[in-house]
Structure 1
Amino acid sequence: MSNTNRILVIVTNVNEYEKVGYRTGLWLGELTHFYDFAVENGFAVDIASPAGGFVPIDPESLAHDYLDELGTGERYRDREFMNLLDDSKKIADVDVDDYDAIYFTGGHGVMFDFRGDELGALTAKFYESGKIVSAVCHGPVGLLNVPLSTGAAMIAGKNVTGFSWPEEELAQRADAVPFNLQEEMAKIGANYSMADKPFETYVVEDGRLITGQNPGSARAVAEAVVGALQAA
């Protein structure tokens, strides 16, 4: 694998649930916690989305408790950084050769636009090119529709995690989401596991596939991705 020292971060374009009136979007900390750690360790980061352009932010991720975590509030006050979310790169314009890894952020918005064929094909190229594929929280929705050249699903037989159904119920979104992510990963044949307690930091590594369970796991996913890239 060529070393580009660049990571592609995927975010959502969706700002609302289809069935209910709640607003949603990117969970900001799942971007900032990963982004900051990657940059601090010498990696450049590009932000892309399925449609390109504006990236909505889940309003709940802007609560004071969340903004106080790992410098997220500082990023929210940073005009230059926030302007990156006004004009994200379109995934159709991404060249896999420009990156060492791909990282899927979460926020419930991804449940409506991360399962598309175009994003799945891009992810398959990353994986089959020997690059790292990573995701956190609802971000693993982007791993559900990734057929490899063999015809097999990328996560079939792989050890993974992602936002659990107990966490979905605690977040009071079980009636709003279009599907159960934990269940869908298992249906594909992935070996899903989760932390002993909801919302505990939890990361699963299976070769070049790295997944984190919930928003509080984003920094730990970044650490795992950067560690793997530095060891390569």
Structure 2
Amino acid sequence: MMKPLKNYNMPRQFNINKATIGLMLLIITCSFLISCAVKNKSAQPESNMNFNNKKILMVIAPKDFRDEEYLEPRKIFEQNGIIVKVASIQSGVAIGADGAKVKIDLTVSQVEVNDYDAVVFVGGPGMAEILNDESMQLLAKKFYQANKLTTAICVAPAILAKAGILSGKQATVWSGVVSDLAAGGAIYLKEKVVQDGQLITASGPAAAVAFAEKIIQSLK
């Protein structure tokens, strides 16, 4: 006749080890989850936190502005959490040289300089036609005198020169209007992007990304 099995109790040491292992696994799991959370947080662009409530005014010609000089910087600005508004000498919808359509938020005469941290004058053949517009030059001067970041790309640095704010300053510009910088007393540098204090200038569409990145760095 088979003997009944004895009630076998695990040794106390085994039970303790099992509990210890469980606790270790719990600690490891928690550490992993915390690490992932920290990593995800650090992976978020730091600039989004730095640039909350920052605003940039982009100024374009009502027609034939250079599309990439507007589109590429705007994309970079907005990716960094910056609010972008667009101004021109006319209200309505501006049409780029390559067909981009942009709704104008306000006219140049409606701009309140203190509402913005920087101004960006966009170039293009349309801007070349209005370099002598007094309202554009006055806007550039107001931003500069308010110690705001005052920037321009392609032919648009000529507006800064005509506004009288590039005298004795280093700057670059589209090759076709270098003479306008010289007439305004600027020190012309044949480079893609040039910064002299609160002034940032760029030579053309090939410099659009570097131009935007320099503006971002200067707003930090």
* TM-score between both structures, scaled by the size of structure 2: 0.72
SS in 1 for 2:200: strand
Structure number with higher helix proportion: 2
* Counterpart for residue 143 of structure 1: 160
Q: For the Cα contact (< 8 Å) 2:88–2:104, is it kept in 1?
A: no
Pair 1:125 & 2:164 matched:
no
* Counterpart for residue 211 of structure 1: 201
Deviation string 1:67-104 (CA, Å, 9 cap, x unpaired) is: xxxxxxxxx6xxxxx4xx14442111111011000001
Deviation string 1:20-62 (CA, Å, 9 cap, x unpaired) is: xxxxx01110001110111111111001111222212113xx6
SS in 1 for 2:86: strand
* Counterpart for residue 183 of structure 1: 179
Deviation string 1:148-188 (CA, Å, 9 cap, x unpaired) is: xxxxx2101010001013xxxxxxxxxxxxxxx10111111
Aligned partner letter, 1:157: G
Q: How many angstroms does 1:220 deviate by?
A: 0.9
SS in 2 for 1:194: coil
Q: For the Cα contact (< 8 Å) 2:161–2:186, is it kept in 1?
A: no
Pair 1:91 & 2:108 matched:
yes
Quote the RMSD (CA, aligned, Å). 1.6
* TM-score between both structures, scaled by the size of structure 1: 0.69
SS in 1 for 2:93: coil
CA spacing shift, 1:160–1:40, aligned 2, 3 Å:
same
Q: Give structure 1 stretches of 5+ with no counterpart.
A: 15-24, 63-75, 77-81, 147-152, 166-180, 196-201
* Counterpart for residue 51 of structure 1: 90
Runs of 4+ in 1 over 3 A off after TM superposition: none
Q: How many angstroms does 1:4 deviate by?
A: 4.7
Q: How many angstroms does 1:142 deviate by?
A: 2.2
* Counterpart for residue 12 of structure 1: 61
Alignment of 1:71-86 (within 5 A): 82=101, 85-86=102-103
Supply the distance in 1 between the matched residues of 2:201 and 2:83 (Cα, whole angstroms). Answer: 20
Deviation string 1:92-145 (CA, Å, 9 cap, x unpaired) is: 111101100000111111011232111211211111111000111112132132
Supply the distance in 1 between the matched residues of 2:53 and 2:139 (Cα, whole angstroms). Answer: 17
CA spacing shift, 1:4–1:128, aligned 2, 3 Å:
farther
CA spacing shift, 1:189–1:109, aligned 2, 3 Å:
same
Q: For the Cα contact (< 8 Å) 1:12–1:50, is it kept in 2?
A: yes
Q: For the Cα contact (< 8 Å) 2:65–2:97, is it kept in 1?
A: yes
Number of equivalent positions:
169
Q: Which has the larger radius of gyration?
A: 2
Supply the distance in 1 between the matched residues of 2:129 and 2:212 (Cα, whole angstroms). Answer: 24
Higher relative contact order (CA 8 A, sep 6+): 1
Supply the distance in 2 between the matched residues of 1:140 and 1:34 (Cα, whole angstroms). Answer: 16
Q: Give structure 2 stretches of 5+ with no counterpart.
A: 1-51
Alignment of 1:15-34 (within 5 A): 25-34=64-73
Structure number with higher strand proportion: 2
* Counterpart for residue 81 of structure 2: 42
